[in-house]
Chain A
């Protein structure tokens, strides 16, 4: 079985901006994303107390080639880190059927 080395970009933070980030990720070259509701607490945590759209915490994941990963992380850190409770990280992953993640950028 062939495994493809790719990057996993994970963004965790306020639900209110997660869909925008997901759309932007697609625009920057990601072929898809996974969005899930999570529970957590952080240094700027002012959420998870009432079930409204803005109060939830969400986790957004992209599996992308490294250049797209860098673009997504740059976008998130420029646009959202200052005012929103958001964290983001990058990890190396080995992906089955990885060719479909690299289609859009041709990498």
Chain B
């Protein structure tokens, strides 16, 4: 158990019971899960990165190494995903896959809209800022997927084999919907303004931005390797296939080790962003924590309805809750230049990502148990 002060615990427990959602026993189980997650190398490396930046320490990850690791992680997720998908397809056809895929697509379409509505009407943010942040939260973060997947494997509840397919499904529609919404609404606003000032309205770069998202590195590598893994599993002699599998899978060793280095770098970057928390204000900080919990719950719940296992529901919850900070920022910058990038990047990278890595994933795990996933 995490050593919470007893006084705090005695206040917190009845409060949680009052909420009626979790019993005291479930609450301690969540704490237990948190502890099992927090005191593991991946979040600790992230923490080390943050601490190092704050105290001006000397860790420096070479840019080329960081980019190379990103390539390996994406290729590995795609390749192993494609391989597992081929097995699943071979055994069950599409019967087990189509429901989770549909659920993911629905989630990908709903999360940008819920985010937009909350930001615009509850937070009172501008159209461009709301849509820009919604694009980040509608999409997903492959690193959060990798960490969630490692977590469920560590807890001996590996996720369904086709989860990488769901990650690629989730990446695009969220960004697209938020950008289309934002571009349409702000084009109307801009047209009104240009009619008033007599200045020509600027053309939107929506098509170009969406093309760049679809053909960006994360989609190309992950979806590309998914197809390669799928085809080669079906058509290659298993003996010849084995070395490729061993390299990308490597009993999880390479993947997890490299993930530690990657998270260290993410920590260094997030640490620099911490100062911006003051600039974005309390609403966005709360949004960056509460919205993932809501989206995560829907992910877990729909995943359970679609027939995912315990690990699968947890991972789906985590990727639905996560916010993109690689594919979304340039697309938003091109399409909605009025949106302030400090808001969206800080929320995605300095609030939601650390929250998910440290607390979110074990919470989604407990939510998955709570909805009855096995």
Instruction: Show the binding face of A for B, using Cβ within 8 Å.
Output: 14-17, 46-47, 49-55, 79, 82-84
Q: In the complex, are the beta carbons of A55 and B202 less than 8 A apart?
A: no
Residues of chain B in range 307-342 having any CB-CB distance to chain A below 8 Å: 325-326, 329-334, 337-338, 340-342
A-B contact pairs, 23 of them (CB 8 A): A15-B330, A16-B330, A16-B333, A16-B334, A17-B333, A17-B334, A47-B341, A50-B345, A50-B349, A51-B63, A51-B67, A52-B325, A52-B326, A52-B330, A53-B212, A53-B216, A53-B330, A54-B329, A54-B333, A54-B341, A55-B345, A82-B337, A84-B333
A55 to B333, CA, bound (A): 10
Interfacial chain A residues near B202, Cβ < 8 Å = 79
Other contacts beyond A16-B334, A53-B216, A84-B333: 20, CB < 8 A:
A16-B330, A16-B333, A46-B340, A46-B341, A46-B345, A49-B272, A49-B273, A49-B345, A50-B269, A51-B66, A53-B212, A53-B330, A54-B329, A54-B330, A54-B333, A54-B341, A55-B329, A55-B345, A83-B337, A84-B337
Instruction: With both chains docked as a complex, state the minimum distance between the C-beta of A38 and any C-beta of chain B, in angstroms.
Output: 14
Instruction: With both chains docked as a complex, state the minimum distance between the C-beta of B196 and any C-beta of chain A, in angstroms.
Output: 16
A53 to B216, CA, bound (A): 9
Number of interface residues of B (CB under 8 A): 24
A82 to B202, CA, bound (A): 12
A82 to B273, CA, bound (A): 24
Q: In the complex, are the beta carbons of B269 and A49 less than 8 A apart?
A: yes
Interfacial chain A residues near B332, Cβ < 8 Å = 54
Instruction: Show the binding face of B for A, using Cβ within 8 Å.
Output: 63, 66-67, 202, 212, 216, 269, 272-273, 325-326, 329-334, 337-338, 340-342, 345, 349
A15 to B341, CA, bound (A): 14
Instruction: With both chains docked as a complex, state the minimum distance between the C-beta of B1 and any C-beta of chain A, in angstroms.
Output: 35
Which residue of A is nearest B271, CB measured?
A49
Q: Is the interface of B mostly helix, strand, loop or mixed?
A: helix
Which residue of B is nearest A85, CB measured?
B341
A75 to B66, CA, bound (A): 36
Instruction: With both chains docked as a complex, state the minimum distance between the C-beta of A24 and any C-beta of chain B, in angstroms.
Output: 13
Instruction: With both chains docked as a complex, state the minimum distance between the C-beta of B213 and any C-beta of chain A, in angstroms.
Output: 11
A79 to B66, CA, bound (A): 34
Which residue of A is nearest B325, CB measured?
A50
A50 to B67, CA, bound (A): 11
A55 to B332, CA, bound (A): 12
Interfacial chain A residues near B345, Cβ < 8 Å = 46, 49-50, 55
The 8 Å CB contact of B342, one of A17, A46, A51, A53, is A46
Interfacial chain A residues near B329, Cβ < 8 Å = 52, 54-55
Interfacial chain A residues near B269, Cβ < 8 Å = 49-50
A77 to B325, CA, bound (A): 28
A30 to B276, CA, bound (A): 40
Which residue of B is nearest A54, CB measured?
B330
Q: 5 tightest A-B contacts by CB? A: A54-B330, A83-B337, A54-B329, A16-B333, A46-B341
Which residue of B is nearest A53, CB measured?
B330
The 8 Å CB contact of A83, one of B63, B272, B338, B349, is B338
A73 to B333, CA, bound (A): 21
A50 to B272, CA, bound (A): 10
Instruction: With both chains docked as a complex, state the minimum distance between the C-beta of B139 and any C-beta of chain A, in angstroms.
Output: 13
Instruction: With both chains docked as a complex, state the minimum distance between the C-beta of B203 and any C-beta of chain A, in angstroms.
Output: 10
Instruction: With both chains docked as a complex, state the minimum distance between the C-beta of A86 and any C-beta of chain B, in angstroms.
Output: 11
A47 to B337, CA, bound (A): 14
A15 to B334, CA, bound (A): 10
Instruction: With both chains docked as a complex, state the minimum distance between the C-beta of B202 and any C-beta of chain A, in angstroms.
Output: 7
Interfacial chain B residues near A14, Cβ < 8 Å = 333
A64 to B147, CA, bound (A): 51
Which residue of B is nearest A55, CB measured?
B329
Instruction: With both chains docked as a complex, state the minimum distance between the C-beta of B69 and any C-beta of chain A, in angstroms.
Output: 11
Instruction: With both chains docked as a complex, state the minimum distance between the C-beta of B258 and any C-beta of chain A, in angstroms.
Output: 16
